[in-house]
Structure 1
């Protein structure tokens, strides 16, 4: 970097600007600006409990929680894991950790004990905040990990005692007893420091950590503020779980608390309640998966409400077909948006109301700050970023993206980083096409990931669980279309020789009771077969089984769980 002495006459010296961006241009600074300039504005409303926070009150509670975490040993670079639904305690935990230079790590509240234990081993948190409904599962996970335990705080508003079987403190009591004195951050704290770590399904099916620095937090907020657009007079209800990138960042706490808007948490999605809250709480944006929009439309058709407060409904996770888009525009609001992306890079294409219904079924075009391309696919190598598929809407290729909303890394997984981040681009593993105007259409996945109800289900993880059953020699797990959930998990099973009688009920029981498999990942239907398709190198060919499963579902030859099908 040139020093002032080395700069020639009239040359710009970026030293001060660079120093400002690196040390002052942080998400934390943006939130604190709103605590001051929008002090009396409502920042968060919790309808079930009647609680609400102005920005001044939210800032005070965040400081109290940060003080409490500091008193429990949390400092710069430490991880704070929280397993919470969409409740105020989630927002407070997410905002408080960076006040100490610590890393907020929200995790799925539907995970099995073994999956939680994997995350705890990976990030070694100093404190765990857990919803009371998840406390038993968390206790089991902590027992699996063993060793020195993190401090545990249980969120259970109004409770006077902690759940049995878990040594913990109550969130309300921790907050009430805190001093609110937060130690100053060191001068070298940087906007490139990790502030949030999200966990997403990996190539082995177990969750992998996605680090996000503060600058990514800022630019993710800016992206939403631009694309909705979102401002201080808005109030949002994101019906997607906040532990997802699309929940926390797409009109959730991240952009709202950065721009000074209001947030309404919903602990469990209910379409009637969501529509009622639009009028009761002057909600301007609803955000959710396509399945949520389907249920909202059906509810609105049954019992119409005044939705005039809405400025838009944003969906993500799956494309909208023409009929669905037209229906939602007529029944809910003309301003329907659809975003596509990943945990690693947020959304990277956006379908705007002006694009509908002409481009329904596509994922839209690249977001303002993002580059998105479709590259060719080869059996023996990865395409370079400039080895593009033809923009004719028909040639299949891998979708790649380059975005300032990505941290370009995985936690503790250098080999996976090398596989997914290449030449400055993220290789998603999604297969799609693009047309001459840059509209991207998703076709499938290279790695056969199943997305059911907005949740990732990796076939390998489910197959490993099934193949631990003594009666199973081999299995292939695939997803088939489902009107309600997007995809339904089904399994093709080759019974082991000499295993005797093997039926669907036994396998379903095995999956339900397995400590490393969340209930939503278990197969919902089975078919017993004599063999499965493989490549010449012995790899299972999932796409062939997917084609067969789709046909079998239409012909009614799959056996759903809850019925008996015996294979000798």
Structure 2
């Protein structure tokens, strides 16, 4: 396994800047950091075929330990640092790694995208890797319990090479400002691994604030692309008069489709394309529209086959990405069922994602798209965020800071949606729960605890 790490990810010239995480990190320095972690991990008995879990925030320590473990030939499980101790204990019971690498002391809170931490590796009485997969991740759990998803080194290599063939991706000598977490697939492969391979400088702001992000973009003359999720776009689009940023080329978003009014506000204010990317933890990038020309549709990425089956999108995959207990219907006969509603144009091949399949419900015999209801509610004046679910009837959870506007929101919604589409009740809450990747949680058991 070490050959692909050295040949694809750590092969830059000594002086080349590979990372900018509070300070520039050259390829030579990154190789030194990786070598130091490799010595530590091997001293704890980790070897090829072994297993290690990383519970580290986005940091140089995270990157160095990840690459070091892969150089050894070990399987790496990625645990988001924002998980509670209870969630971590449950994850370790499921994954049973031989080594756990954590951050020493208390991890600072706040809207941080990058951390300076001291990493501590500890051996435990775990088990060697039960499969030949290189990385194991837990799904976001935005609609229910998380799944254990595993990918081989070959799968990661193929995705990196897939990125190199997509029109509009950053080129050598350019720069990516990454807002998505490197613990999850968009930031991990589309950000970290692709940039290391392509010779693109990867810069991560210390804080996920507008000022911190804009200052980081302005700090270099290199052509710059931003990678993030809809939450980050809404954050940047909230600035009425952003500074001129001639080096900014585009922003690309993964995750849910950006609401039309937010899309327009962002492109009007920054005057760059807002591209769309569709992917899953199980397979990585599936399709893109980096120039924003086909919104809301995307073109399948090179090497990806997408088909439509009774309104559901299916992705061709040679083997199941799941390990452990899982739903046997998710991967059948070489096809991954995405649980996403969508269509594939027979004329152009363009794929249009209509939202989660479970967002299509029947009310009195009439079809209602909960995504449409949610976007309509979220677009109303005074509404900061909204989630719409179905539990025997349509219910909504909305963040409306001004309590005097609650009645106005309900009245405005009545003007925009037919009666059968409207929520039977709107729960006004102070904040909505999100997953570690910034997605709004739609599991009703969690939403009912929102206040």
Normalised to the residue count of structure 2, the TM-score between the two structures is 0.73
- 1:278: how far off? 0.5
**Contact 1:480–1:549 under 8 Å retained in 2:** no
Counterparts of 1:28-177 in structure 2, within 5 Å, are: 28-34=6-12, 38-47=13-22, 51-131=23-103, 157=116, 170-171=118-119
The CA distance in 2 between the partners of 1:281 and 1:128, in whole Å, is 36
Distance in 2 separating the partners of 1:106 and 1:320 = 27
The structural deviation recorded for 1:422 is 1.8
Contact 1:86 1:266 in 2 (8 A): no
Alignment pair present for 1:560 and 2:429: yes
**Residue 466 (structure 1) aligns with:** none
Matching of residues 131-530 of structure 1 within 5 Å: 131=103, 157=116, 170-171=118-119, 193-201=132-140, 205-227=144-166, 228-250=168-190, 252-282=191-221, 284-299=224-239, 301-302=240-241, 304-320=242-258, 322-353=260-291, 355-356=292-293, 359-360=294-295, 362-376=296-310, 397-402=311-316, 408-413=320-325, 415-416=326-327, 418-435=328-345, 436-447=347-358, 480-481=374-375, 482=378, 487-488=386-387
Q: 1:398 to 1:524 in 2, by over 3 A?
A: same
- Displacement of 1:106 in angstroms is 1.8
Q: How far did residue 289 of structure 1 move?
A: 0.9
Offset from partner CA, 1:191-232 (integer Å, 9 cap, x none)? x94221121046993322211111122122222233232332
Cα gap change, 1:54 to 1:319, in 2 (>3 Å): same
Partner SS state of residue 287, structure 2: strand
Instruction: Look up the SS of the partner of 2:11 in the other structure.
Output: helix
Tell me, in whole angstroms, the C-alpha distance in 1 between the residues paired with 2:342 and 2:283: 17
Cα 1:493/1:368, change in 2 over 3 Å: closer
Instruction: Give the aligned CA root-mean-square deviation in angstroms.
Output: 3.6
Q: Bigger radius of gyration, 1 or 2?
A: 1
Q: 1:59–1:316: structure 2 CA closer, same or farther, 3 Å change rule?
A: same
Spell out, residue by residue over 1:44-90, the C-alpha distance to the aligned partner (whole angstroms, 9 max, x if none): 1222xxx3321011011101101111112222222222223322222
- Give the Cα separation in 2 of the matches to 1:485 and 1:114: 30
Structure 2 CA distance for aligned equivalents of residues 316 and 111 of structure 1 = 22
**C-alpha separation between the residues in 2 aligned to 1:133 and 1:270?**
24
- Structure 1 residues 313 and 127 mapped into 2: Cα distance closer, same or farther (>3 Å)? same
- The question of whether the paired residues in 1 share the 8 Å contact of 2:210 and 2:236 is answered with yes
**Conservation of the 8 A alpha-carbon contact between 1:348 and 1:403:** no
1:551 to 417, 422, 429: 422
1:62–1:318 distance in 2 versus 1, CA, 3 Å: same
Q: Secondary structure at the match of 1:370?
A: coil
- TM-score if structure 1 supplies the norm length? 0.59
Q: Deviations over 1:79-132 (max 9, x none)?
A: 222223322222112211101111222222332333322211121122222345
> How far apart in 1 are the matches of 2:355 and 2:428?
25
Kept in 1, the 8 Å contact 2:139–2:146? The answer is yes
**Structure 2 unaligned regions, length at least 5:** 109-113, 122-130, 361-372, 400-417, 432-447
Q: Give the count of matched residue pairs.
A: 378
